Amino acid sequence: MNVWDLTPLFKNEKELEISALSLQKECEKFEAKYSDKFLNLSDEEFFSALNEYENLLENIARVQIYVSLVFSKDTSKGAFYAKFDELSSKAQNHLLFFELKFNEFDEARQNKIIAKSARLGYYLDSIAKEKAHQLSLKEEQILLRTANTGAEGFSRLFDETLSALKFKFKGKMLGEEEILSKLHSPDRAERKAAAKSLSGGLAPQQHLLSYIYNMIKTSLKTSCELRKFDLPESPRHFSNQTTKASVDALIKAAETSFDLPIKFYEKKRKILGFKKLYDYDRYAPLGESKSIYKFDECKKIVLETFSKFSPKFGEIAARAFKEGWIDVYPAENKRGGAFSQSGVAKAHPYVLLNHTDERRDLFTLAHELGHAAHQNLAYESVGFLNADTPLTTAETASVFCEMLVFDHVKSTLKGREKTALLAGKIEDIFATLYRQINFTTFERRVHAHEGEISAEELNKIWLEESAKMFGQSVALNDYYKIWWSYIPHFIHTPFYCYAYSYAQLLVLAIFGLYKSGKCENFTQIYTKFLSAGGSRSPKELVGMFGFDIEDAAFWQIGINEVRKLVEEFCQEA
């Protein structure tokens, strides 16, 4: 099955509407039942209310997930999305009081409840820490009710615009994912034409995309002022349960090792025999690499690899393929990129792909099924309120599963084919590590800019930050300056990107431990790590492997693993 089966969420849109309308009434009753007497609830009454609250939130999420998936599959269904987004917002409005009222308890009462809650203590402790950034109930309700006409509305406009864009290529009109896949072509002229086509399609949208970005920037600034965050990136660090200092250390570790991408691209240029390596050459496949990866073959590789690592991982992957968890191929109006949408108790996660038979699609499949395994294990183990992880650990399963598949495939290859695979994997790591650091430093400069920022200034900053990791090894053409404008994370989740770098280095450290064989019960610890979801802090979770994420030297463990791969590539080549 290569398309989603959404019936575990809702059998049809009629059932969806009945549920959404019913939820509104249930949430109204919950508010009427508990709001006024909340501060006088006994501990037993509080925990009863907490269970009801969790169930209501999960049912709202079920509606939102279904609607979001339908819209991702067909972004022309904006009216459908807006209708149920509004219904979900109204229902959720009646639940806002719960966390706010919990923070009206005095510290002693909060601590008593947190200590008494075996399952949700960490969640409640996290709420208590949010107190300094919460507004009044009425203010929170207003912000929630107007969200879909603010930043969320501009995010939707961005998705609809990018999904509708077509790029002229060899007499055909291609979607975003299809034109991006051409940048991996073995034909240099085709790569160059694809780069120009991408730029040519984006250029007429520069005014609109710049305006959308400015609205996101302004919305975040306003939110930070209201919630008393000192920097635009601070809310992300807060939700990621990390600090600016630790992110600064991560960025420094990456930026002081830019010699690695420079060394790699210099070697690649020599192998390809080019006088100069241009931006459109970065993903040029090397020589004898296998160029076609049909989905069924990727499926076979992933199943074999996951099962070898852990029967539980193999079982989850097999279910995903069999039960309609995955929507595989590009389609008209389908959102670009890839993701795994976490599920609810009544339904599994859902994976969106845009498979174009490229090598990178194999690793994308492994990446997103890693997310799905993480999400599935967490829901089974810790429930709805504990399942979501901060972004700092959200990418660990996905990147780890990519490494598993890479290691498996590499073991089957020799000579030029192995060199080609190594090159591709290193490029993927660079995209996940160094490129995301460039994204983060780009965002820092953009959000530090006073007032609205022009497209010209955005282009300038983008080129300057992008060039850092390449030095003189890659020449960036002038048209490359507008490529910031198709990156969705800048719009949907500002300052998300460093989480990829964080996860990449974290996973390389963990994967190095796994491959060393020094941890005999690694699979059991790792499964426990994933099953905990967001029920424990990132520091505590990573500590299960004997690592300290607050130690600046920790990042060098991952950097050293990257260095080993680059050295292996240079020796193989």
8 Å CB contact between 503 and 436: no
The mean pLDDT value of the chain amounts to: 94
Cβ pair 457, 448 in contact under 8 A: no
Query: What is the average pLDDT across 279-285?
Result: 94
Closest CA to 80 of 328, 326, 333: 333
CA distance 368 to 379: 17
pLDDT at 304: 97
Which position has the higher pLDDT, 282 or 413? Answer: 282
pLDDT of residue 290: 58
pLDDT computed for residue 18 by the predictor: 97
Rounded alpha-carbon distances, angstroms, from residue 508 to 105, 250, 437, 468: 43, 14, 16, 23
Residue whose C-alpha is closest to residue 362's, from 384, 383, 338:
338
Report the percentage of the chain scoring pLDDT > 70: 99
Q: Is 5 left (phi over 0), alpha (psi -120 to 50) or beta?
A: beta
What pLDDT was estimated at residue 74?
A: 95
Residue pLDDT, tens place only, 507-548: 999 999 998 898 989 999 999 999 999 999 888 999 999 998
Cβ–Cβ < 8 Å for 95, 53: yes
pLDDT on residue 177: 87
Whether 199 has a pLDDT exceeding 80, the answer reads: yes
Q: Is 80 exceeded by the pLDDT of residue 176?
A: yes
Mean pLDDT of all residues in 235-255: 92
Question: How far apart (Å, rounded) are the C-alpha atoms in residues 40 and 34?
Answer: 10
pLDDT at 147: 87
Mean pLDDT of 8-14: 96
pLDDT of residue 533: 94
Q: Any idea which of 308-322, 410-424, 448-462 has the lowest mean pLDDT?
A: 410-424
User: What's the average model confidence in pLDDT over 287-302?
Assistant: 84
pLDDT tens digits, 71-126: 999 999 999 999 999 999 999 999 999 999 999 999 999 999 999 998 999 999 99
Task: Kindly indicate the confidence band of residue 288, based on its pLDDT and cuts at 50, 70 and 90.
Answer: low
DSSP 536-551: S-HHHHHHTTT--TTS
Contact yes or no for 10/75 (Cβ under 8 A)? no
- Give the per-residue pLDDT at 554: 86
Residue pLDDT, tens place only, 431-463: 989 999 999 999 999 999 999 999 999 999 999
Q: Strand 172-174 and strand 339-341: pairing?
A: unpaired
Q: Domains of the chain, with CATH numbers? A: 13-131 (1.20.140.70), 232-291+299-323+364-572 (1.10.1370.20)
CB contact at 8 A, 549 and 503 = no
At 407 the pLDDT is 93
In three-state secondary structure terms, 470 is coil
Q: In this predicted structure, what is the pLDDT of residue 289?
A: 52
Pairing of strands 350-352, 326-327: parallel
Percent of the chain with pLDDT over 90: 83
